[in-house]
A and B are shown apart, each in its own frame.
Chain A
Amino acid sequence: AQKITQTQPGMFVQEKEAVTLDCTYDTSDPSYGLFWYKQPSSGEMIFLIYQGSYDQQNATEGRYSLNFQKARKSANLVISASQLGDSAMYFCAMREEYGNKLVFGAGTILRVKS
Chain B
Amino acid sequence: DVKVTQSSRYLVKRTGEKVFLECVQDMDHENMFWYRQDPGLGLRLIYFSYDVKMKEKGDIPEGYSVSREKKERFSLILESASTNQTSMYLCASSPPPQGILSPLHFGNGTRLTVT
> Which A residues are closer than 8 A to B by beta carbons?
4, 6, 9, 31-33, 35, 37, 42-45, 47, 50, 52-53, 91, 93, 95-97, 100-107
Contact = CB atoms under 8 A, between A and B. Distances in A.
A35 B106 CA distance: 14
A9 B41 CA distance: 11
Contacts of A37: 106
User: Which secondary structure dominates chain B's binding surface?
Assistant: strand
A95 B48 contact: no
Contacts of B58: 101
21 contacts: A44-B109, A45-B90, A47-B104, A47-B105, A50-B101, A95-B100, A97-B99, A100-B31, A100-B50, A101-B45, A101-B48, A101-B58, A102-B33, A102-B104, A103-B45, A104-B43, A104-B44, A106-B40, A106-B41, A106-B42, A107-B42
Contacts of B50: 100
A56 B88 CA distance: 37
Contacts of A33: 100-101
Interface string B87-103: 01010100000111101
B108 interface: yes
Contacts of B101: 33, 50, 52
A47 B88 CA distance: 18
A62 B50 CA distance: 32
A43 B109 contact: yes
Contacts of B35: 104
A101 B90 CA distance: 14
Contacts of B41: 106
A42 to B, nearest CB: 7
Given A91-B42, A106-B40, A96 B100 contact: yes
Contacts of A101: 45, 48, 58-59
Contacts of A100: 31, 48, 50, 56, 98
